[in-house]
Amino acid sequence: MKVGYVYDPVYLKHDTGYHPENGQRLEAIMAHLKETGLIKQLISIRPRPATTEELAYVHQASYISELQEVAARDGGWLDPDTVMSPGSWDAALYAAGGVIEATDAVLSGEVNSAFALVRPPGHHATALAAMGFCLFNNIAIATQHALKKHKIDKIAIIDFDVHHGNGTQGTFYDNPQVLYVSTHQYPHYPGTGTVNETGRGAAAGTKVNIPLPGGSGDDEYRQVFEQIVMPVVRRFRPQLIMVSAGYDAHWKDRLAMMAVSVTGFADMAGSIKSLADELCRGRIVLTLEGGYNLKAQAMAVKATFDILLGRSDIADPIGPPENRRTVPDISSLIKAIKETHHLA
């Protein structure tokens, strides 16, 4: 089982100061992978900067120019949540290019699966705007690259970040070649991702939103993966699975109110791997999105790599949530989603 990873110190040039999305996130992940010896079992994939043509698969030319100009002016705030430093332009180019390189490595057979450990994250970025800590929509750009350059016909994007990937969904809202499935806390930032957002025109039914209530944990995520995520992906039969891997649904993460453990993230990764093995020769490309508790994110990323490597003995020293008093009932939500998407 050949598993690749993308990382480069260029991602630390996106200097956000004391912002929750900062370079310590990647430093903690890399330190943990090295301390546990896992890094030696992975294949390094070198990133490169995305070209303007590749960025334009998703973003308008005026927006691309705007980001370059902001970086050249020593950076600044793009919205109340999203900031650039002088080095952010290079980091953003290499983030998008890193996910493209991971996709090329998987589709060429160099590796079976790959995880791009990049920043800034991307799934909130739209054609014309940065938002939610995101500059370029890395996964959308790489998905378009696979469709255009590799002539892939059908791609499934699974997004388990705690926030809805509004930018990714918007990019493919009219595209029947891309299934987008999102599990996210709702109501929560950015306010999108309701059950009735299902795609438009020929793409109707290919956008599947699972807006979970706060407090949802391992059992609730397991239910929606078993009853919704896996059936809709099987029905779609993709040739490649792309994953927006956000770990901010962990119970120790303060940017949300979920109750997922490291074991829960491993279960999600295991479900995705089984789908890829069944449907698309094991081909998975993951890219890092959110996750702001350094210890929890590092351990969950390692657990994801363990699953990709075929292991089932997952370490979870943090364990389940402390003092979890309320367990949400999501049966009516599951029923509504099944009815909307014609699932038995």
Predicted confidence (pLDDT) per residue in 151-164, tens digit: 999 999 999 999 99
Confidence (pTM): 0.98
Output the tens digit of pLDDT for each of the chain's 344 residues.
899 999 999 999 999 999 999 999 999 999 999 999 999 999 999 999 999 999 999 999 999 999 999 999 999 999 999 999 999 999 999 999 999 999 999 999 999 999 999 999 999 999 999 999 999 999 999 999 999 999 999 999 999 999 999 999 999 999 999 999 999 999 999 999 999 999 999 999 999 999 999 999 999 999 999 999 999 999 999 999 999 999 999 999 999 999 999 999 999 999 999 999 999 999 999 999 999 999 999 999 999 999 999 999 999 999 999 888 789 999 999 999 999 999 98
Domain that holds residue 207: 3-313+323-340
Residue 330 pLDDT: 98
Q: What is the CATH number of the domain that holds 160?
A: 3.40.800.20
3-class DSSP assignment, residue 215 = coil
With respect to residue 171, please indicate whether it lies within any of the assigned structural domains.
yes
With respect to residue 318, please indicate whether it lies within any of the assigned structural domains.
no
Residue 326 pLDDT: 83
CA-CA distance, 120 to 205, in Å (whole number)? 30
3-class DSSP assignment, residue 255 = coil
What number of other Cβ atoms are within 10 A of residue 83's Cβ? Answer: 22
Q: How many domains, in total, are found in the chain?
A: 1
Side by side, which strands form the sheet with 240-245?
Answer: 43-45, 3-6, 113-116, 284-288, 240-245, 155-159, 178-185, 207-212
Alpha helices in 109-183 (DSSP H): 138-149, 166-171
Residue type, 163: H
Please choose, from the candidates 94, 253, 268, 244, the residue with its C-alpha nearest in 3D space to the C-alpha of residue 159: 244
With respect to residue 183, please indicate whether it lies within any of the assigned structural domains.
yes
Catalytic residue ranges? 124
Predicted confidence (pLDDT) per residue in 102-149, tens digit: 999 999 999 999 999 999 999 999 999 999 999 999 999 999 999 999
